Structure 1
Amino acid sequence: MIDKKAIEHIAKLARLHITEDEAQEYSTQLAKALTHFEQISKINTAGIEPMVTPTEIEAYWREDVVKQDFTAEEMTGNAPDRAGNLFKVPPVV
């Protein structure tokens, strides 16, 4: 079980400020969550193949089609400042 002291230590590592009441509440909540994980770990999964998704999904592939909807001039037309076909931005140091 995760006690209040462990919660306070975790909070300190995460640089979080929690009250005594919050530490006690989080301890109780985490204990409940860990109980659920213990129940899940007891399930016999021998012979069951792992899945990528919880349901069987058929992969849908589409053809990649190269198309150019706009010209470079149209894409940079509304830019406040540009250099040729590029957006001009302030230098970053």
Structure 2
Amino acid sequence: MSKITKEQVEKVAKLARLNLTPDELNKFADQLSSIFEHVDILSEVDTDGTQPTSQVTGLTNVMRDDEVDSDFCSKDELLAVTPLPVERGQIKVKKVL
């Protein structure tokens, strides 16, 4: 891969709405070029005969049982101390969407 130019970094920064100084543009161009050089080195490694690996533990969807913590306060105790308004036995919060 060719060297990443300051202009390429500037274009991506503009798309991401990042205001970068000229020093930052040069710094990031050098850093990205270095990263791509390492990727080029890795792409030369012979991986024929190597099985694709998405994970190494062999575990899939490990979940635990839901257990009620009896040491925790009750719903009524929680509703009694909340500073938020309570409506029909539930804490009312502001709309998010």
TM-score, structure 1 length as denominator? Answer: 0.71
- What stretches of structure 1 of length at least 5 have no aligned partner? none
Name 1:85's counterpart in structure 2: 89
CA 1:66–1:26 in structure 2 vs 1: closer, same or farther (change >3 Å)?
closer
Q: How far apart are the structure 2 equivalents of 1:15 and 1:46?
A: 41
TM-score, structure 2 length as denominator? Answer: 0.69
Number of residue pairs matched by the alignment: 91
- What stretches of structure 2 of length at least 5 have no aligned partner? none
Q: Which of 75, 78, 92 matches 2:78?
A: 75
The one of the two structures with greater contact order (alpha-carbon pairs below 8 A, sep at least 6) is: 2
1:8-87 equivalences under 5 Å are: 8-53=10-55, 56-57=56-57, 59=59, 61=62, 64-67=65-68, 69=70, 70-80=73-83, 81-87=85-91
